[in-house]
Amino acid sequence: MYKVTVGNMLHLYGRFGQKADYAVRLSVRMTEEVDREILSHALEKTRQRYPYYQVRIRKNESEYYFEENPLPIVLLCTNDKISLNTEQTNYNIWAVCFCGDMIHLDFYHGITDGTGMYMVLATLLYYYCEERYGITDHTGILTLEDPIRPEESMDPQESLPVIDPPAGKAPEFFQAGDYGNLTPSIQRVWDIELPEETFMRFSSANDASPGTMISLLLARAIDGLFPNRKEEIANSYLINARPMLGIERTSHNCFSTAYLKYSDRVRAMPFDHQCTVYRGMTFIQSDEDYVIRALTTGAARNRRAFAGAPLLEDKKRAFTELLNSRRKAATFVVSYVGKWRFPAIGEHIREFWTHVPYPKGIIAQIAAVNGKIFMSLSQTYEEDFIVEALLQELEDNDIPYVVRRMMDNDDAHVPEPV
């Protein structure tokens, strides 16, 4: 039995309380059709490298917990949505799917974050490309040659100072869905491909990174669509907090948030100055002391919610209320995982998409590999005009793009354990 740690509490209790499927699908299009037998070998080696992820979610009257699962991680031949923690996937919290030239890694977000999932994906693709293409360089990739260190199973947020969480209500920002001219819908995804060289040249010339540039362009798009709004626009920009906490290999959810405000003062600036301000806000909120303070506050709130709720249903309500209290904390969310760091493997990747759960609003997930940037833009509205406005921002700045697909989100179902 593994208890749910401080860093994972909100993700697990709160999302089950919201009845939200909380899984991520990382989809990679290879340059050739996938070889099932080789992928099966790669999956088996990857499973062995990450034993702490071979668990199922259980519950009792007072809490959820993880339990070791002796059943193998499954390999499914499908592009369709699957169900984790069910019979279909041997009750495991992750699985691998493939079809044609596509490989999908489906992973439960309540046990790890994007950084943790990318570690697993890198191991899987290394072992696949090693056997398929003879690749031998695994620098920076966890393989069976690397010992499993204790820190991989440690949640650094468990060791943060115990404080009384500060009182006061979090700032609230503009929500497009509250404006009255958007129709709620299931989550839909646009996969948009950009040429990396062109986009990076444009971003660098304006003192921006891909993540801060998309943050600013999307803020400008929304600002133009809702000129009479009363609230400010601000997005949350997700930051890997492992370096700040000093545990690079932790497998747990470990990220912080920078809030980038598109204020009236920023709107009045020239475009390149807007970019500099956004990058500056990111630097300040990525500072080690700033991140530790923010995570210490979050850990304190999680501890208080957990301790004040004796029964499981009480904990679900408490963490759901905590999530709901943050509903207006940002207008939209942006996550940029950076450039794929393993070029020998990247040569065999044509596309790389990140589809994430987001119960309400807009989220952009950005990755880069093999000379291209891949942005998955998700929203929970039927109307397309926010996406169209962002694409217009790209066109206005001479940035070419290709919309590869528009689809319902295909991340896995994760039913509550019975």
Residues 124, 42 contacting (CB under 8 angstroms): yes
Burial environment of residue 155 by CB neighbours within 10 A (0 to 12, 13 to 18, 19 or more)? buried
From first CA to last CA, the distance across the chain in angstroms is 16
Torsion of CA 332, 338, 343, 349, to 10 degrees: 0
pLDDT of res. 170 = 80
Amino acid at 95: A
Query: What does pLDDT average to over the chain?
Result: 96
- Per-residue pLDDT of 93-150, as tens digits, reads 999 999 999 999 999 999 999 999 999 999 999 999 999 999 999 999 999 999 999 9
State the pLDDT at residue 168: 76
**Dihedral-angle region of residue 371 (phi above 0 means left; psi in -120 to 50 means alpha; beta otherwise):** left
pLDDT the model gives residue 181? 80
297-346 pLDDT per residue, tens: 999 999 999 999 999 999 999 999 999 888 899 999 999 988 999 999 99
| Predicted confidence (pLDDT) per residue in 339-380, tens digit | 999 999 999 999 999 999 987 899 999 999 999 999 999 999
CA–CA distance from 8 to each of 14, 328, 335 (Å)? 10, 21, 19
Contact call for residues 376 and 365 (beta carbons, < 8 A): yes
Confidence of residue 163 (pLDDT cuts 50, 70, 90): very high
What is the model's pLDDT at position 179?
A: 81
Burial environment of residue 362 by CB neighbours within 10 A (0 to 12, 13 to 18, 19 or more): buried
- With residue 296 as reference, give the H or E element that holds it: helix 288-307
Backbone phi and psi for residue 353, each to the nearest 5 degrees, phi listed first: -120, 145
User: Can you state the percent helix, strand and coil of the chain, rounding each to 5?
Assistant: 40, 25, 35
Average pLDDT of the residues in 283-294: 97
How would residue 50 be classed by pLDDT, with cut points 50, 70 and 90?
very high
Give the other-Cβ count within 10 Å of 339's Cβ: 15
Q: What confidence score (pLDDT) does residue 235 get? A: 97
Lowest-confidence segment of 38-52, 71-85, 160-174, 290-304 by average pLDDT: 160-174
**Residue 346, amino acid:** G
What number of other Cβ atoms are within 10 A of residue 363's Cβ?
A: 24
Q: Rounded to whole angstroms, how far apart are CA atoms 80 and 146?
A: 34
74-103 pLDDT tens trace: 999 999 999 999 999 999 999 999 999 999
Quick count: other Cβ atoms within 10 Å of Cβ 163?
A: 12
